Structure 1
Amino acid sequence: MNSEDVTTVYDQDVMITMRGVADSVGLPYTVNPVEVVDREVLIELREGPVGPPGEEGAAAWPWAWQGDVADPAALTALGLTTADARKAWRVVSENAIYYWTGTEFIAFADAFRRPGRRGAVNVLSGIGLAGTTGSAASARILGSAPNQQLEITFPRGAQGEQGDPGSAGQIADASDVLVTEDKPLGQGYVLGFDSATGKFRPIPSPRLRGPWTIGNNQFLTAQNLKEDPKVLAAITIPAQPNAWRPWIEGAVGISSGAPTRCDVTVRVGAPDGEVVAQGWGHWESRFAHVLISPGFDYPVKPGSQFGIVPANQTVTLYVVASRAAGGGTYTVNGNYSHLQVRALPA
């Protein structure tokens, strides 16, 4: 064909798109259709036979494998957002991988056609368990590759004969004893049963603690006193690990004559605090010893909080003289006075 015979039908730059068309019957095309729309040209060409596999390409973008979904509709129903970017699924109905970029899917058709690379070696660890006597042996694999565990259950055998006695162990190591840092097992503690844990735990010893004493040279010595009331002595008891009630015994050398009688009380926390011990004076001045024993202003029974000193609290006890009758003077002789205090766990 001569150049003079060529007729120009379109004299502008155009965008050409070539599209392969499948040959379903194996006949060659005699005509390759060309379609021009505005400045775009579409040319359809017959596809050739499938060629050999090409060279292996670069590694794909890393993605977070999410497993299988049934079809694209199930994938769309997930409602993915930009936070799900780089996730990928296998769409079973299409045998394709769908990769989510954060805004759209990229589909890889026919993604599962040949065996992949060799995976990591499975590290299989084992564990043996004892089943009940007479049960059947069983085994199962737990976890997922490459870190799996083989669990084998063996039937427990019949009860054997009693073995030889073992060596003595520490009580703190016993299975029914619970010792912690806040509840240690040491001096001043014994074991008590804790119903909440079902075990024995250390508790402060319930025995009397002490004694703490006031000697005769620590009491006031004075004559012809008129003050009412009057503090004769005081003693400070250190903090105890549990709540307790003072158990007090002693005597005070105090004398007064009719019509005056002076009594003695021991009070907690202040000179006018709760009375935990007391002694009754005499009408005769020659009876100069007032014996002190536990006594309270109100009836006390187990569980009563009267006269209780809280745990971990230091407290001071005061020995106080007060007139029970009359308005005369009284004399205190410290040389014949003494007091003993013990802590009775509440």
Structure 2
Amino acid sequence: MAEATVGEYLASVRMIGVDDGVGLENVVNSFQVTPTEGLLELKAGIPGPQGPAGPDAWPWEWRGDVTDMAALDAIRPTLGTGNRGWAYRVMSTNSVMYWDGETFYPFLEAFGAMGPRGFPNELTIGTVTTLAEGEDAYADITGDPPNQVLHLGIPRGGQGEVGPPGQPGPVMNSADVDNSIPLAHNYVLAYKASTGKLTPTPWPGTAGPWGLGEANFSTGSNVSAASTTIATLTIPGQPTAWRPRVEGGLSMQSHVSSIGAGRADCEVRIGSSTGQIVAIAPGFPTANWFRAQFYPYFGATMSPTSTTGVIPANTTVTLFFVINRNLGSSNYSWTNSAASAIVYAEPVVIP
């Protein structure tokens, strides 16, 4: 009896490749038989050497969209080898069809499919440049993920409409104020020409008064000395430069044998008995007691820029009340009865 063939027993034979780890030893090929089918599993062979490089692909030339395959089939007869590289999008299937000169190669689901997961990125703001009004805005991204930097160019807007009045704000925050100098107690804002701004400045009004009473003056009788200090008054430093304005008076007598033979005056001087004179209470050239009144006296020609009699800011000063015999050689007397002196600090602003 002749031997039967596989084909006489089986309706079909399937052969499949097995991923068995290429090169493993002692692996056999499996052949399984059923009444209607034979299944032959063949081991994968060892990969061969890399083949020669093929010709370069023809450059793509995008030709646009077609609605469906019927529309593409209508184009096919017009294409030849001279149209190699032409590519169309078939909108009904979201596929790309590439013409190689003889036929179309499909790239299915070329649009809308999810791509590979990208690197996580942290975009930081770099430079922000203000452009002139009317220029085009731009945004540039530099660097590689995950460290990229966004650089912006933003054009300046046009002048807007005047808005409603705002709420009152701190004057020291104004651009017109030099706030590098703190605003302290008894300070005001004054315009400073050198900066063109309002600057915190000590209050420019008159300060004081400082005063002396009877007990602060000495008393002298028939004194022959040419000069005698009868009182002193110390005034603390002031925030601005100033001149003393002295008011008050005291009773004096010149011991003369005839009218006009001699005269003693009470003077107020800065820093010592011979310092700059700032006030005087003139005596009377008679032997009678006379009430001498203090008034400002600087003994010099004055102008707004004069520094005569000026006491610098933040300088403590002592004023000396001195009787000087300014006429003749006769003796003099004075009394502290009803003697008084009031001193005001008159601020000085020298341009």
Out of 321, 337, 340, the position equivalent to 1:338 is: 340
| CA drift at 1:327 | 2.5
| 1:218 CA drift (Å) | 0.8
- Map 1:117-128 → 2, pairs under 5 A: 121=121, 123-125=123-125
Confirm or deny: 8 A CA contact 1:209 1:342 kept in the other structure. Answer: yes
**Correspondence for 1:292:** 294
Rounded to whole Å, the distance in 1 between the matches of 2:334 and 2:158 is: 82
- Does structure 1 conserve the Cα–Cα contact (< 8 Å) formed by 2:143 and 2:149? yes
SS in 1 for 2:234: strand
1:187 aligns with 2:185: yes
Distance across 1 between alignment mates of 2:143 and 2:195 = 37
Q: 1:249 to 1:147 in 2, by over 3 A?
A: farther
Q: What is the correspondence of 1:1-346 to structure 2 with a 5 Å cutoff? A: 121=121, 123-125=123-125, 135-141=134-140, 146=147, 148-154=149-155, 156-157=157-158, 159-163=160-164, 165-180=165-180, 183-258=181-256, 259-346=261-348
- CA shift in 2, pair 1:155/1:179, >3 Å: closer
One-letter identity of the residue aligned with 1:323:
R
Task: Give deviations 1:275-305, integer Å, cap 9, x for gaps.
Answer: 1111211023434211111101221222122
Q: For the aligned residues, what is the CA RMSD? A: 2.9
Match of 1:103 in 2: none
| Distance in 2 (alpha carbons) for counterparts of 1:144 and 1:195 | 51
> Equivalent residue of 1:156, what SS?
coil
TM-superposition CA deviations, 1:242-275 (whole Å, max 9, x none): 2222122221221224333111111001111011
TM-score with structure 1 length normalisation? Answer: 0.58
| Residues in 1 aligned to 2:238 and 2:290: alpha-carbon distance in whole angstroms | 35
Which structure 2 segments of 5+ residues have no match? 1-117
- Write the distance in 2 (CA, Å) between the matches of 1:303 and 1:187: 28
SS of the residue corresponding to residue 273 of structure 2 reads coil
Distance 1:275 1:120, change over 3 A: farther
SS in 2 for 1:272: coil
C-alpha distance in structure 1 between counterparts of 2:140 and 2:230, whole Å: 82
Q: 1:236 to 1:125 in 2, by over 3 A?
A: same
Distance 2:121 2:152 in 1: 19
CA separation in 2, counterparts of 1:332 and 1:290? 10
Q: Partner amino acid for 1:267?
A: R
TM-score scaled by length of structure 2: 0.57
Question: How many equivalent pairs are there?
Answer: 227
Secondary structure of 2:310's match? coil
The separation in 2 between residues aligned to 1:247 and 1:170, in whole angstroms, is 37
